[in-house]
Chains A and B, each alone.
Chain A
Amino acid sequence: MELSTSILLTIALAPLVGCVLAGFFGRFIGRAGSHTVTILGVAVACGLSFYVLYQITAGGAPVYNQNIYTWFDIGNYSAHVGFMIDRLTAMMMVVVTFVSLLVHIYTIGYMAEDPGYQRFFSYISLFTFSMLMLVMSNNFMQLFFGWEAVGLVSYLLIGFWYKRPTAIFANLKAFLVNRVGDFGFLLGIAGVLYFLGTLDYATAFAAAPTLAGKTLQITQNTHWDAATVICILLFIGAMGKSAQVPLHVWLPDSMEGPTPISALIHAATMVTAGIFMVARMSPFFELSETALSFVMIIGATGALFTGLIGIVQNDIKRVVAYSTLSQLGYMTVALGVSAYAGAVFHLMTHAFFKALLFLGAGSVIIAMHHEQDMRYMGGLRKYMPITWITMWIGSLALCGVPFFAGFYSKDAIIEAVGESHRAGASYAYFCVMAGAFVTALYTFRQMYLTFHGKERFVVVHDHGHGHGHDDHGHAHADHDEHHHVSHKDDHGHHEQGIMHETPKESPWVVTLPLILLAIPSVIVGALAVKPMLFGDWFGSAIHVNEANNVLGELGKDFDTWLTAGLHGFGQLPFWLVAAAFAIQTYIYLFNPALADRIKNALKPIYNVLNHKYWFDAVYYIVFARGGMALGRALWKGGDATIIDGVLINGSASLVDRIAGGVRRLQSGYLYHYAFAMILGLILLLGGYWLVGQ
């Protein structure tokens, strides 16, 4: 059955309605009212998204591509707001709304005490709307709208606790780094319009082959290949949004935001927008071997080197954040070797298990009363079994242990890179292979430090100091104080490692989403691997040249999910994971002192990782401080000194000085005038005399 416009509009707008109601009328409808309307909105969107996916895959619905209204229409150029729903879109819609729905529910528990409860629900619904506009778009203008709108919501949410200096630093940084990417993205869109004359996807993709052989004049004698320029510019956009090296620096800092949005925005959906966009643009990227190599090398670098940083992090959320950077690198590598389906497949599995890991980390943080340092955790498994088990499931999926979802997607990427002959593919292969080992190292370290081993905190019962999660009866202002203090990184008034009550499992609104995410983290890989990766499931949505079709090559050896899983046990990635498991098990369960000894032995390497390769420090000095210094120099030197000082006030004072000089002639003394008359007479007569001669 054909998809109807009204259904698609409902999907996009239902979350927006929720956002407006909770945001503007939150005070009237109250906390329960706010979470009810927003959850209802997202639930409607989610249900209808599943319906759309069903219609597109099984119901025989053709690809939907229609404009809703004209945004502008100038000569031959026009921009519209409209939807294009193919399999890629439908899959993204389901992932976005499903994770969003679970995060909405989870938020009821996580933000229960927060004074900004309604505002938070309003924001995450606005995010869902923006993200849907992004993925459902049928043109570049709307894509850019969604792209920037999710950036805005990310900005608002990272700075959600706006009293914290670190949060408002992080959100500004995130927005500006993303803007650097958007700068390239917008130029890429301008390039598309220049060469293809349209902003509409379908028309542009159909005309993509005409790009071949066209060039863009860069200088008098330099001409660059049009497809390469466009693709690299578009990819710069993806580097910002999907946090690729060297524009990755904003993502770890984004952990300043509340954990539910770390799961939804900074792991499952928004940061994968870049991956989605490149997959969507596959007809362009297939035209440029250079651009694809560039994509692959950037992705591979991120996959390995950001993962390494994860090993030395002590903050539970930061480990997951670096893990996300590394996994985004994997997806990007897949794009770079033309395994677009592999990238999108990993995007989907990653959305489930990474959201699970973030929400699990959040559950731990609730139990620990907003302690995020893993050095003060340990042994939590007996207090919170659901969180413990579901997080293990997420971890195994992340490590790519056979039969878990992550195995099918990640293994396919590693093998696809192995198959590729693109320039730089051997470097990329090394990175993704080593990355598998690194992933397992930080993941098992995190699990052991959090849930296993000795408890590294003590419980001191003193009820006078309680600000636990049960004290809903507190006055509002009091809450506010407590809340923000307890969220501070340095933990303000309360000492690290001292708990005022025993940690306990989180309420059902928190654990239910964990369970619902754990299920796809196990099964979705096995279910979807065959059609999605090897069965041309995406159809016309993704275009791969025959010569680049590495997944097609892999597909020849692929039989069923079962055999593939069994086969996986004999492969190098699995043994790397197993080795990492053995190492970490020995260190953290049997010989905890060894970790510090290794750290001291490898001090130089530890320093490099602990300083995150000095990206932040250098950027801060060069761009933040440098930009301010340049601004000050231009202001004082250019505007104040040259323009105002010399030209404007200078000419004013010149007039003043001349006038002052001339004024002195008008002294009012008779003898001055008499003298001047005599002088004039002499000059006059002298002049006549000279002329007469």
Chain B
Amino acid sequence: MFNHLLSLLIWLPILGAIPVLLAGSGRPNAARWISLLVAIATFVASLCLLPQFNAADGAKQLLENHVWISSLGVNYGLGVDGISVALILLTTFVGILVIVGAWEVIQTNPHQYMAAMLVLEGLMIGVFCATDALLFYVFFEAMLIPMFILIGVWGGPRRVYATLKFFIYTFFGSIFMLVGLIYLYLQAHTFDLAALASLPLSMKEQTWLFFAFLIAFAVKVPMVPVHTWLPDAHVEAPTGGSVVLAAVMLKIGGYGFLRFSLPIVPDAADAYAWVVIGLSLVAVVYIGYIALVQEDMKKLVAYSSVAHMGFVTLGIFIAFMLVRGTNNLDAAKLGMQGAMVQMISHGFVSGAMFSCIGVMYDRLHTRQIKDYGGVINVMPWFGFFYVLFAMANSGLPGTSGFVGEFQVILASFQANPWIAFFAAFTLIIGAAYTLYMVKRVLWGDITNPHVAEMKDINGREWFVLGAFAAAVLALGIWPQPLIHLMDASVSQLVTQLGNHKI
């Protein structure tokens, strides 16, 4: 029995980057094909998780544990539960699409670009597999490097400002987490997450740790008011960078809350749940209004990401109110599941939206909404996908965008109808900013003569958008398989919320 599947998933793309780099700038096609093969192999390997993984068990599975730094008690510990499996599948799925999406688009040093993408993919999978806090931290930080390179090298004109902002912002957040982890190590003499979860901590300790984690993950998600790096990073990032950033990297913030804030500092998390819930609602309403007035398509979708990720943090922390306030475990599960489904769905929808913008950018070399108008006249197939993804972004039932938001709103109502009231505001404002963009970009008569020369999507673009569309529809029409995959893990998390440490 081969029991290093998780290691394989992490190291296959990272090591696969080496032959891609070796292909060099002289043989761009070799670099492209090798990276595609590596990405496909990783995806296939991630599919092998499904038969090996027992969804009925909420505990970590497929465990691997090796001593890494024995003097510090750091282990190379890997393991996955249903939530990790779902996120790994999302990562490997998107991994293929960004390689295909960049195929002819990246002309300068494609081998380096592809290699950076593969390394990034491996590191992100590592984050989702780590059961050791320090290992998590290493992957978490290492991820910044390939993304820094992707934006800094292949980015737009203000890429230096954007990369610095991105790097310092997220690094600033991580430092607090590192301090928190060191403190925890001094108490527990281990970085094992399971051991940390059962470590008794006073309320004062928990509060400090909670805010340390909050700062780290809030920047990553990102939550208001530490979200301003995201629009800048997206605007300057190449399409593939934006897709990975929105589809997977943001999820790591939400994932961090699940692995750190919830099990390690449950009492402080409960006491300050209102902070996170409040900020999540601000994200929905305040960011919604800001998205409405954006002139740059990427900025608009970036702000829309902030608003949608608000549902993730809302769903996670509403569970506290439900479990500890009214002992309403089922509603808490509903909210938590909603948050998880929203993570996966947002991965598809935002990835698809950024891919769409990339398709237009490749043709017209502008992201300004005012430069477009009437695109549907020349690109009907593209228009079909664009409207589909816009509707998913507006949370239309039948698309994945609806499922998580629906569940989170239903669960919030059980905690407090006013929370549901503000969360449901996304129905109006989300549709307003998304469809107002569609109106100005897609519909109407052609006013810019360059738009008239735009060609409809080619086979490669069809493949990327079609794959996203299939995922968006499949999850929207039948979410139960995904929910079943995560159900036992979510139940276990929710049960843990009730465990008081003091």
Contacts and interface: CB of A to CB of B under 8 A. Distances in A.
A interacts with B: yes
B289 A634 contact: yes
Interface string A62-86: 0000000111111111000000000
A627 B407 contact: no
Given A71-B479, A168-B439, A628-B293, A191 B417 contact: yes
A183 B165 contact: no
7 contacts: A74-B487, A77-B331, A148-B402, A165-B445, A172-B439, A190-B412, A647-B225
B424 A183 contact: yes
B228 A74 contact: no
Nearest to B380: A119
A415 to B, nearest CB: 39
Nearest to B440: A168
A216 B413 CA distance: 11
Contact of B397 (A149, A169, A179, A191): A149
Contacts of B432: 176, 179, 627
B19 interface: no
Given A148-B397, A152-B391, A187-B420, A76 B428 contact: no
Contacts of A216: 417
B225 A643 contact: yes
Contacts of A628: 292-293
Contacts of A74: 330, 333-334, 337, 407, 483, 487, 490
A630 B289 CA distance: 7
Interface string B470-492: 00000000111001100100110
A632 interface: yes
Contacts of A155: 435
B397 A187 contact: no
Interface in A622-673: 627-628, 630-632, 634-635, 638-639, 642-644, 647-648
B436 interface: yes
A218 interface: yes
Interface in A159-196: 159, 162-163, 165, 168-169, 172, 175-176, 179-180, 182-183, 186-187, 189-191, 193-194
A72 B485 CA distance: 12
Given A631-B293, A635-B290, A72 B443 contact: no
B409 interface: yes
Interface residues of B, number: 58
Contact of B420 (A159, A168, A190, A634): A190
B260 to A, nearest CB: 24
Nearest to B332: A75
Interface of A: 69-77, 141, 144-145, 147-149, 152, 155-156, 159, 162-163, 165, 168-169, 172, 175-176, 179-180, 182-183, 186-187, 189-191, 193-194, 216, 218, 627-628, 630-632, 634-635, 638-639, 642-644, 647-648
Nearest to A149: B398
Contacts of B398: 145, 148-149
Contacts, number: 146
Contacts of B397: 141, 144-145, 147-149
Contacts of B377: 163
A152 B478 contact: no
A159 B376 CA distance: 12
B413 A162 contact: no
**Lowest 9 CB-CB distances: which A-B pairs, in order?**
A75-B330, A190-B413, A631-B293, A145-B397, A631-B289, A168-B443, A631-B292, A162-B443, A163-B445
B444 interface: yes
Interface string B443-461: 1110000000000000000
B478 A187 contact: no
B324 to A, nearest CB: 17
Interface in B376-428: 376-377, 387, 391, 396-398, 402-403, 406-407, 409-410, 412-414, 417, 420-421, 424-425, 427-428
A186 B374 CA distance: 33
Nearest to A632: B293
A160 to B, nearest CB: 11
Contacts of A639: 228, 290
Contacts of B80: none
Contact of B480 (A72, A145, A148, A180): A72
Contacts of B8: none
A194 B292 contact: no
Given A69-B478, A72-B403, A77 B330 contact: yes
B292 A627 contact: yes
A644 B228 contact: yes
A385 B437 CA distance: 46
Given A75-B491, A627-B289, A642-B225, 12 more contacts: A70-B480, A74-B333, A75-B333, A75-B334, A77-B410, A141-B397, A145-B398, A163-B444, A176-B432, A186-B409, A216-B417, A635-B294
A172 B432 CA distance: 8
B396 A152 contact: yes
A148 B330 contact: no
A633 to B, nearest CB: 9
Given A72-B403, A647-B225, A179 B427 contact: yes
B182 interface: no
A547 B333 CA distance: 42
B394 to A, nearest CB: 8
B329 interface: yes
B431 interface: yes
A634 B413 contact: no
A77 B445 contact: no
Contacts of A69: 478, 480
B361 interface: no
A644 B397 CA distance: 36
Nearest to A645: B228
Given A74-B487, A179-B431, A193 B413 contact: yes
- Among B337, B428, B484, which residue has the most Cβ atoms of chain A within 10 A? B428
Given A179-B428, A216-B417, A628-B292, A163 B228 contact: no
A347 B413 CA distance: 33
B286 interface: yes
A71 B228 contact: no
Contacts of B290: 631, 634-635, 638-639
Contacts of B286: 634, 638
Contacts of B491: 75
Interface in B293-340: 293-294, 329-331, 333-334, 337
Given A152-B396, A631-B293, A187 B165 contact: no
A179 B396 CA distance: 10
Contacts of B331: 77
B228 A648 contact: yes
B293 A163 contact: no
Contact of B444 (A152, A165, A179, A180): A165
A168 B225 contact: no
Given A163-B445, A168-B444, A183-B425, A194 B403 contact: no
B427 A186 contact: yes
A39 to B, nearest CB: 23
A161 B402 CA distance: 28
Contacts of A186: 406, 409, 424, 427
B431 A176 contact: yes
Contacts of A187: 409, 413, 417, 420-421, 424
Contacts of B444: 162-163, 165, 168
Nearest to A73: B480
Contacts of A632: 293
Contact of B431 (A168, A175, A189): A175
Contacts of B376: 162
A621 B424 CA distance: 23
A67 to B, nearest CB: 12
Given A74-B333, A179-B427, A159 B165 contact: no
A152 to B, nearest CB: 6
B228 A643 contact: yes
A647 B334 CA distance: 37
B477 to A, nearest CB: 8
A187 B483 CA distance: 23
